[in-house]
Amino acid sequence: MTTPESLQIPTDLLPRDGRFGAGPSKVRAEQLAALVDTGTSYLGTSHRQATVRNKVGEVREGLTALFNLPDGYEVLLGNGGTTCFWDAATFHLVAEHSQHLSFGEFSSKFASAVKDAPHLSDPEIITSETGTHPRAVAREDVDLYALTHNETSTGVMMPVERPAGASGLVAVDATSGAGGLFVDPRQFDCYYFAPQKSFASDGGLWLALCSPAAVERIESLAASQRWTPAFFDLKIALDNSRLNQTYNTPALATIHLLASQIQWFNENGGLEFSAGRSRRSAEILYTWAEASDFATPFVAEPAERSHVVGTIDFVDQIDAALVAKVLRRHGVVDTEPYRKLGRNQLRIAMFPSVDPEDVASLCACINYIVGNL
């Protein structure tokens, strides 16, 4: 009898690269090779000197090109990842009162950070059922609208749009969406992310594409009486970013891997190319799930099904955790669902680095496992 422990997936069905995790995500071999190729000239050198600062400059210019940023938009960066940026935003982006669309683990966290900040008023938090997204509502007293381009915990994506008639800043957590989803920079004031998802680098860094209005907000809050720890001070980050530096020492490998990925996107056609790859992968995944008699897309509304992180529910008779375990034994890793969602589900990242053909192979592997257990 075939047991989950003895089941062997035929080698020719396996994806060429088995990394489907939502972050840290697949790093392309070419990125790693480019880093190794630097030999003794990059790693282990000062981040205050030209070698590294030019690399940071390459990242900032590369992102400006990739997102087609209008004049006056600036690329800021600092250490600490997205979670750190949320805290920084409570000091230097939210003036007084914010509105948050909360529809999963990640979007709820920024809302909590604001709620806990003693110097801000209680935020307005708009929620929706798991597997959907709420809509922002323009209000006179809201000075920042907090959106999330892609809710990584549930696999729901939403369009980035300024709420009609709103005057407040639009800040978007694009940690998993940036690079893998289309966006019009005129629709946001701050589009922030970390590089361990679509940008196929490592964690620990944050990047923020800021409109002139966002820069002005940072400058005016920094000039106010509000006490701000230096690590969360976005004015310090702004001043350092303009010099292609970070406030404190960054991870140089992270910056190099990130620069390689941005270059790969830009050389192949920019966001059209990178988001196009994720869109193609998503088409393969959801088409397979819809045709399957044991799997269905978790997100009911097709337009809200993420192109970068797909969530697939399984019927009760099939244990998704067991499927993930068999996959893992074959080197196909990190398809487990977001732990706190608690569903009989697989979660599959389809960031631009992931080959759409590998997503097709993954679907074939799942069919094989289910058919042979």
Ligand X SMILES: *Cc1c(COP(=O)(O)O)cnc(C)c1O
Interacting residue ranges for ligand X, rule: CB under 6 A? 23, 81-83, 106, 148, 152, 173, 175-176, 194, 203
Q: Which is nearer to ligand X, 152 or 228 (CB)?
A: 152
Q: Which is nearer to ligand X, 148 or 211 (CB)?
A: 148
Shortest distance (Å) from residue 152 CB to ligand X: 3
Q: Which is nearer to ligand X, 203 or 323 (CB)?
A: 203
Structure tokens of 349? 């990242």
CA 332, 338, 340, 345 dihedral sign is negative
Residues 6+ apart with CB under 8 A from 112: none
Place of tokens 């210019």: 61
Q: Which is nearer to ligand X, 106 or 298 (CB)?
A: 106
Q: Which is nearer to ligand X, 132 or 367 (CB)?
A: 132
The rounded distance, in Å, linking the Cα atoms of 325 and 128 is 32
Shortest distance (Å) from residue 203 CB to ligand X: 5
310 close to 154: Cβ distance less than 8 angstroms: no
Helix/strand/coil for 292: coil
Shortest distance (Å) from residue 232 CB to ligand X: 14
Structure tokens of 120? 């801000």
Neighbours of 111 (CB within 10 A): 21
Shortest distance (Å) from residue 158 CB to ligand X: 11
Helix/strand/coil for 343: coil
Q: Which is nearer to ligand X, 67 or 106 (CB)?
A: 106
The closest residue (CB) to ligand X is 81
Residues 6+ apart with CB under 8 A from 220: none
* Alpha-carbon dihedral angle through residues 296, 302, 307, 309, given to the nearest 10 degrees: -40
The rounded distance, in Å, linking the Cα atoms of 58 and 44 is 19
Sheet holding 144-148, edge to edge: 74-79, 205-210, 190-193, 169-173, 144-148, 98-102, 124-127
Q: Which is nearer to ligand X, 82 or 361 (CB)?
A: 82
The rounded distance, in Å, linking the Cα atoms of 274 and 346 is 23
Q: Which is nearer to ligand X, 21 or 62 (CB)?
A: 21
